Amino acid sequence: MADDARPLYLSICQETDDIGERSSVRVRLAGDDTLVLEVTATDIPALRAALNTWLRLINIAVEVREIAAPPVLQNSE
């Protein structure tokens, strides 16, 4: 999972301008294995909506990567 941060960042950073008028987000990498999501909002409902949106986008990106990734064969020793 440590190698997922950069591809995940590249997948979702394109969406940072499309979140809405009452909230904003900054996505960045912290090192090779950490994705940082900084969300600010004008009020609590806007913050909740923004967090739900971004966590859903991240979850979808992870699920798509898992589906698209080739299966890992385990050694049967």
Domains of the chain: 2-65 (3.30.310)
- pLDDT for position 77: 57
Write out pLDDT tens, residues 3-61.
Answer: 678 888 888 888 777 667 899 999 999 988 899 999 999 999 999 999 999 999 999 98
Describe the chain by its helix, strand, coil percentages, rounded to 5.
50, 20, 30
Whole-structure pTM value: 0.74
- For residue 66, give the amino acid letter: E
Task: Residue 66: count other Cβ atoms within 10 Å of its Cβ.
Answer: 9
Residue with tokens 């979702």: 12
Give the CA count within 13 Å in the CB-facing half-sphere of 60.
8
- pLDDT for position 38: 94
